[in-house]
Amino acid sequence: MTQELHRGVLSAKIKERARSLGFDLVGIVRARALESERERLQEWLGRGFQGEMRWMEREPAKRTDPRLLLPSARSVVVVAINYYTPHEHTNDPTKGKISRYSWGDDYHDIVGDKLKSLLAWIKEEWPEAEGKACVDIQPMMDKAWAVRAGLGWIGKHSNLITREYGSWVFLGELILNLELEYDDERVEDHCGSCTLCLEACPTNAIAESYVVDSNKCISYATIELRAPRLPEEMRGNLNGWLYGCDICQDVCPWNRFEQPTTETRFEPRPENVNASLSDILELTPEAYSERFRRSAIKRAKLSGLQRNARALIEEETE
């Protein structure tokens, strides 16, 4: 078997295994530095659009070169999994809306476990294999790698859009020391002249097409911002969002292709679609830890959730 044929067979087996583990889309690209993406990241940071997310400023070289995470890296296996479930938010002012991505179990655990299972299988098949699984926490530019691997394109709201599942997908990568067959074909940007996401954002957080100013983003404010009080320009424009925000995705025409996920752990936990604001305010640290155990909602911390709940109540009474 020629080396090229061997790489092709190896890549096909890895993709087949990834799909059997529940990943909906898989692409493989060469592990190399993302030079143009690094320049855009530096420009974005230079405009201060990261807000208080100081971790995004650290080690930009590592964030854009997988070989600094795994020195033996040769390939990056990029995966996407659909997380859409057909449930709806309510407009009940006594409840707060929660972003769809956090309705079920923490995606870091779900995607991470699947990637680790894939890596374990690869090591069994090819003992010389070395790898590192990455899911959001590691300094990898997930969306940039997904574009490189042909999984989709970056929409004007800055989220990855796939033709098969819209933007309701979680991303992850498996960095490997194996030489594989690479996917060179990229998906064309299909946003066209559409500006629905820019027009729908109540805080004008999409500064320009493909560029989000986190300082104005409801999702950033309700999850990442640690201030004891939400910014005044944010208050009054929350549109009922307690944790995160899906407005730019909800209006995206490409999400008409949404379809229910096959991963049952993405199904909503009780009251994780719409949460009672009074219940949130009454949570003790112990009750909070129990209710949101292994949930992405813990990212906001109890103080953040209660701050958001108070802001929504004040917004409704003003």
In this predicted structure, what is the pLDDT of residue 318?
Answer: 65
Q: Do 39 and 161 belong to one domain?
A: yes
For residue 97, tell me if it sits in a domain. no
**249 class by beta-carbon count within 10 Å (0-12 exposed, 13-18 middle, 19+ buried):** buried
Q: Do 253 and 161 belong to one domain?
A: no
Q: Do 7 and 118 belong to one domain?
A: yes
Q: Do 25 and 170 belong to one domain?
A: yes
279-282: which pairs have CB atoms within 8 A and are 24 or more residues apart?
Answer: 280/96, 280/242, 280/305, 280/306, 280/309, 281/306, 281/309, 281/310
Two structure tokens written together for 143: 């969306």
| Domain C-terminal end among 176, 206, 238 | 176
Average pLDDT over residues 186-200: 98
Q: How many CB atoms lie within 10 A of CB 140?
A: 25
| Domain C-terminal end among 124, 146, 176 | 176
Q: Alpha carbon of 153 to those of 57, 82, 164, 176, 299: distances in Å?
A: 24, 15, 12, 24, 27
In this predicted structure, what is the pLDDT of residue 317?
Answer: 78
Q: Do 124 and 225 belong to one domain?
A: no
Q: Are 262 and 22 in contact (CB under 8 A)?
A: yes
Catalytic one of 109, 113, 136, 250: 136
In this predicted structure, what is the pLDDT of residue 235?
Answer: 87
Output the CA torsion sign for 132, 133, 134, 137: negative
- Domains in the chain, number: 2
The reply to whether 189 belongs to the active site is no
Q: What would the pLDDT profile of 197-225 be if each residue is shown by its tens digit? A: 999 999 999 999 999 999 999 999 999 99
For residue 110, tell me if it sits in a domain. yes
Of residues 294 and 257, more confidently modeled:
294
Average pLDDT over residues 107-120: 98
Q: How many CB atoms lie within 10 A of CB 266?
A: 23
Q: Are 136 and 39 in contact (CB under 8 A)?
A: no
Q: Do 163 and 213 belong to one domain?
A: no
Q: Do 260 and 293 belong to one domain?
A: yes
Q: Do 171 and 238 belong to one domain?
A: no
For residue 185, tell me if it sits in a domain. no
Angle, CA of 138, 37 and 140, to the nearest 5°: 10
The total number of residues written for the chain in this structure: 318
For residue 152, tell me if it sits in a domain. yes
Q: What is the pTM of this model?
A: 0.95
For residue 92, tell me if it sits in a domain. no
Q: What is the 3-state secondary structure (H, E, C) of 127-182?
A: CCCCEEEECCCCCCCHHHHHHHCCCCEECCCCCEEECCCECCEEEEEEEECCCCCC
Q: Do 44 and 140 belong to one domain?
A: yes
Whether residue 177 is predicted with pLDDT greater than 80 in this model: the reply is yes
CA 23/CA 17 separation, integer angstroms: 9
Q: Are 156 and 210 in contact (CB under 8 A)?
A: yes
Q: In percent, how much of the chain has pLDDT > 90?
A: 89
For residue 35, tell me if it sits in a domain. yes
Q: What would the pLDDT profile of 44-64 be if each residue is shown by its tens digit? A: 999 999 999 998 888 888 889
| Domain C-terminal end among 176, 208, 231 | 176
Average pLDDT, the chain: 95
Hey, what amino acid is at 180?
Answer: L
In this predicted structure, what is the pLDDT of residue 60?
Answer: 80
Q: Do 72 and 202 belong to one domain?
A: no
In this predicted structure, what is the pLDDT of residue 3?
Answer: 65
For residue 210, tell me if it sits in a domain. yes
Largest CA distance in the chain: 73
Query: 90-94, 107-111, 256-260: which has the minimum mean pLDDT?
Result: 256-260
In this predicted structure, what is the pLDDT of residue 1?
Answer: 52
Domain range for 253 is: 196-317
For residue 141, tell me if it sits in a domain. yes
The residue assigned the tokens 């040769």 is 74
In this predicted structure, what is the pLDDT of residue 233?
Answer: 85
Q: Do 73 and 163 belong to one domain?
A: yes
**37 class by beta-carbon count within 10 Å (0-12 exposed, 13-18 middle, 19+ buried):** middle
Hey, what amino acid is at 94?
Answer: T
Q: Do 116 and 216 belong to one domain?
A: no
